A = this chain, B = another copy of it.
Amino acid sequence: MKKQVEDKKAALLQASLKLFTENGFHGTSTAHISKEAGVATGTLFNYFPTKEDLINALYFDIKGKLSRSLAKDIQNQSTLHDKFWKIWYDLIEWGLNNQEDFHFVDQFCSSPYISDYTREVVMGEYSFYHDLVKDGIATGEFGDYSEGMVASIFYQSSRTIVDLILYSEPQDKNKAIEDGFAIIWKGLTEK
């Protein structure tokens, strides 16, 4: 009866994702999650002993999926420019195609209910990104900006573009992605 187990666990995660992003952590009751997932209130606690375990599992799953999707095929890109362009494009496409995941990360990335342990494990999955940033600084391509500066500006700007496309100008999607990258890449690399 493995199949059933996965079904209900996945349904609970999906319901939580929807309700947490809509109403926040405290704004979502476990009863509501159970109902949305189509299971009894007690069943939720068979899979996730506490409400916090649920939000940690979501954070772990979503950030993990994203990191694997970003890391894939990166080594096939020859130049640093192409690698960062691929990450930029994939980040934004992921945000646009997985809006619930995107908004969940936005809302809960600094939530006190995500444990330090979850955060550390997830952080480790992004070392490939930080290594790329370090490379760019070591080769002089990124001037003398600090690693944190480059990593944060690049990542946060990609999220800005997703919001921009979602809420302001969905018609110019590709131009917005390209313009955004042009701005940030120019800023980071031009002397």
Contact = CB atoms under 8 A, between A and B. Distances in A.
Interface residues of A, number: 33
Interface stretch (A75-83, A120-128, A149-157): A149-157
B187 A182 contact: yes
A16 to B, nearest CB: 15
How many copies make up the complex?
A: 2
Contact of A176 (B146, B184, B186): B146
A43 interface: no
A152 B183 CA distance: 12
Contact of A164 (B22, B152, B163, B179): B152
B164 A160 contact: no
A160 B185 CA distance: 16
B186 A145 contact: no
A179 B164 CA distance: 24
Interface in A26-53: 26-27
A188 interface: yes
Contacts of A187: 182-188
Interface string A124-165: 000000000000000000000110110011001101100110
